[in-house]
């Protein structure tokens, strides 16, 4: 495209946006036969954005009142659910009607409500209900989004995830257990999509850094019999891993190495190292230091596997650039990077052969792989 053509395109785009932004034009467009379809579609999409927070709170109420599980046996009325939840029937009716409008529940001819396919599917997603309950802290931080963007002194979410600031002995064991369990439950979906994108059949020893209670390594171990594995994470979050691997019959295949990648040298001997939902928790300088340490720990030809939600970069992505971008803002450390940004950090650490295939579910994770030359 020539410079002249580009300038004309920009002028036309600016002129059109100015026209569309006029209230009078919107009123006219919603009635004119050739434009009313698009105008109404745009209006409905905008209203979905406006009411998005209300929808999330409806979902929160459904989960906290355990409505989905209460309806597993069949449809119930608002009056029946009143007795089980201590929510007045007329107010329960409001919640159930909203859930039906969101296609989480469905209403029968008797006015009772039962599970819709989307509501049933929610219960089948590992860790989703726990994550929704956990969102109470995130929503509290989003109550003042401008204040969050300006950088508050403290946030609810940062106090829920203290490990990202490099805490070691300071982490309360109960806190460590809470977030380890939350991460382990949701790690199953991440492991599924990572294993779709990466084969570990040519790997002899895999080290998972920041692997918590070992949910990802368990999934890889089941998919790759005979693979030797090492778990590296803070001492407070690894005790449950031993029991997990023993129950899975992998106790003799896994070495647990407690430590902090900020302070301790990484163990050597692995020909592949995985970072599963680790980088987006940390600032660029921390990530750069970690990638350099990973590079040093790998042998020539060793593989790096990164799997986490990523931003879209030049092509903004609703999951990475909305949800995860603001989530990491509320954590007060880290950020949702694009695959290109992560690839550049890997290249700066010395890695080559950097690849990132299109994700199966970008709201779950995206995978990037690289090799040490």
pLDDT band of residue 212 (cuts 50, 70, 90) is confident
Confidence of residue 78 (pLDDT cuts 50, 70, 90): very high
Residues 244-272: tens digit of each pLDDT: 999 999 999 999 999 999 889 999 999 99
Query: Are residue 83 and residue 188 in the same domain, yes or no?
Result: no
Helix-, strand-, coil-residue percentages of the chain, each rounded to 5: 55, 10, 35
Residues 116 and 154 in one domain: no
In a domain, 177, yes or no: yes
| Judgement on whether residues 217 and 272 belong to the same structural domain of the protein | yes
Structural domain contains residue 250: yes
**Longest CA pairwise span in the chain (Å):** 72
How far is CA 73 from each of CA 120, 125, 324, rounded to the nearest angstrom?
12, 19, 35
The yes-or-no verdict on residue 16 having pLDDT over 60 is no
| In a shared domain, residues 192 and 248 | yes
Residue with tokens 């089948």: 124
- Residue 92 burial class via C-beta count within 10 angstroms: exposed 0-12, middle 13-18, buried 19 and up: buried
Output 342 or 38, whichever has higher pLDDT. 342
Identify the sign of the CA torsion 76, 77, 79, 82: positive
Residue 4: pLDDT band (50, 70, 90) is very low
Do residue 79 and residue 210 come from a single domain? no
pLDDT of residue 12: 46
Looking at residue 30, its pLDDT comes to: 56
Integer CA distances (angstroms), 323 to 71, 91, 154, 363, in order: 29, 30, 20, 9
**Cα distances (Å, whole numbers) of residue 279 to 132, 133, 177, 271:** 23, 24, 21, 20
Specify whether 115 is located in the same domain as 166.
no
Task: Please give the average per-residue pLDDT across 272-277, as a whole number.
Answer: 97
Are residues 97 and 177 both part of a single domain? no
- Domain annotation covers residue 129: no
Is 114 found in the same domain as 164?
no
| CATH code of 227's domain | 3.40.50.150
Residue 3 lies inside a defined structural domain of this protein: no
- Give pLDDT tens digits for 160-188: 765 554 544 454 555 555 555 666 667 88
Q: What is the mean pLDDT of residues 133-161?
A: 90
- What mean pLDDT is reported for the chain? 87
Within-domain flag for 36: no
Instruction: Judge if 170 and 113 occupy the same domain.
Output: no
- Residue 238 has what pLDDT? 76
The answer to whether residue 219 sits within a structural domain is: yes
Bridge partners (DSSP) listed for residue 105:
115
Residue reference for tokens 């939600």: 309
Residue 340 pLDDT: 97
Residues 338 and 310: beta-carbon distance below 8 Å? yes
Instruction: Decide if 10 is inside a domain.
Output: no
Would you say residue 72 has pLDDT above 80?
yes
DSSP notation for 87-131: --HHHHHHHHHHHHHTTSEEE-TTS-EEE-HHHHHHHTSTTHHHH
pLDDT grade, residue 35 (50/70/90)? low
Per-residue pLDDT of 284-322, as tens digits, reads 999 999 999 999 999 999 999 999 999 999 999 999 999
**20 within a domain of the structure (yes/no):** no
Q: What is the CATH number of the domain that holds 84?
A: 1.10.10.10
Do 186 and 277 sit in the same domain of this protein?
yes
Q: Looking at residue 7, what is its pLDDT?
A: 44
DSSP structural state of residue 182: H
Q: Which stretch, 11-15, 36-40, 64-68, 156-160, has highest mean pLDDT? A: 64-68
Pair (261, 325) in one structural domain: yes
Measured distance CA(192)–CA(194) in Å, rounded: 6
Domain count, the chain: 2
| Pairing label, strands 352-355, 366-371 | antiparallel
Residues 213 and 294 reside in one and the same domain = yes
* Predicted model pTM: 0.84
Once rounded to an integer, what is the mean pLDDT over residues 3-13? 47
State the average pLDDT over residues 197-223: 94
d(C-alpha 315, C-alpha 308), whole Å: 17
**Residue burial 140-157, b: 16+ Cβ < 10 Å; e: rest:** ebbeeeeebeeeeeebbb
- Is pLDDT above 70 for 26? no
- Per the structure, the complete domain to which residue 90 belongs is given by 65-123
Q: Which residue has the tokens 């940062």?
A: 158
Closest C-alpha among 12, 50, 42, 47 to residue 26: 42
Task: Identify any residues that bridge with 258 across adjacent strands, giving them in sequence order.
Answer: 233
């Amino acid at each position: 495209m020539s410079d002249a053509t580009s300038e004309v395109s920009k002028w036309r785009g600016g002129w059109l946006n100015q026209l569309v932004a006029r209230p009078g034009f919107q009123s006219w467009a919603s009635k004119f036969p050739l434009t009313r379809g698009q105008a109404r579609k745009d209006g409905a999409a905008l209203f979905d954005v406006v009411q998005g927070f209300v929808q999330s709170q409806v979902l929160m109420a459904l989960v906290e009142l355990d409505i989905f599980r209460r309806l597993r046996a069949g449809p119930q009325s608002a009056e029946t659910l009143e007795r089980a939840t201590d929510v007045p029937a007329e107010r329960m009716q409001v919640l159930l009607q909203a859930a039906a409008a969101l296609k989480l529940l469905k209403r029968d001819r008797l006015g009772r409500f039962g599970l819709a396919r989307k509501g049933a599917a929610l219960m089948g997603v590992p860790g989703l209900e726990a994550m929704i309950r956990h969102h109470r802290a995130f929503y509290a931080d989003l109550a003042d989004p401008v204040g969050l963007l300006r950088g508050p002194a403290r946030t609810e979410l940062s106090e829920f995830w203290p490990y990202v600031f490099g805490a070691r002995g300071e982490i309360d064991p109960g806190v460590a257990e809470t977030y380890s369990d939350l991460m382990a439950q949701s790690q199953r979906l991440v492991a599924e999509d990572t294993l779709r994108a990466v084969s570990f059949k040519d790997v002899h020893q895999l080290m998972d850094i920041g692997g918590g209670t070992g949910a990802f390594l368990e999934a890889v171990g089941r998919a790759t019999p005979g693979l030797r594995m090492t778990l590296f994470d803070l001492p407070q979050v690894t005790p449950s891993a031993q029991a997990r691997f023993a129950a899975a019959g992998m106790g003799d295949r896994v070495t647990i190495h407690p430590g902090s990648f900020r302070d301790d040298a990484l163990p050597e001997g692995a020909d592949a190292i995985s970072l599963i939902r680790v980088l987006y928790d940390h600032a660029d300088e921390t990530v750069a230091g970690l990638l350099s340490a990973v590079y040093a720990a790998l042998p020539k030809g060793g593989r790096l596997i990164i799997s986490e939600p990523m931003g879209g970069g030049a092509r903004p992505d609703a999951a990475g650039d909305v949800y995860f971008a603001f989530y990491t803002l509320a954590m007060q450390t880290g950020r949702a990077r694009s695959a290109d940004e992560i690839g550049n950090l890997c290249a700066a650490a010395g890695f080559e052969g950097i690849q990132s295939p299109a994700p199966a579910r970008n709201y779950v994770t995206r995978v990037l792989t690289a090799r040490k030359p």
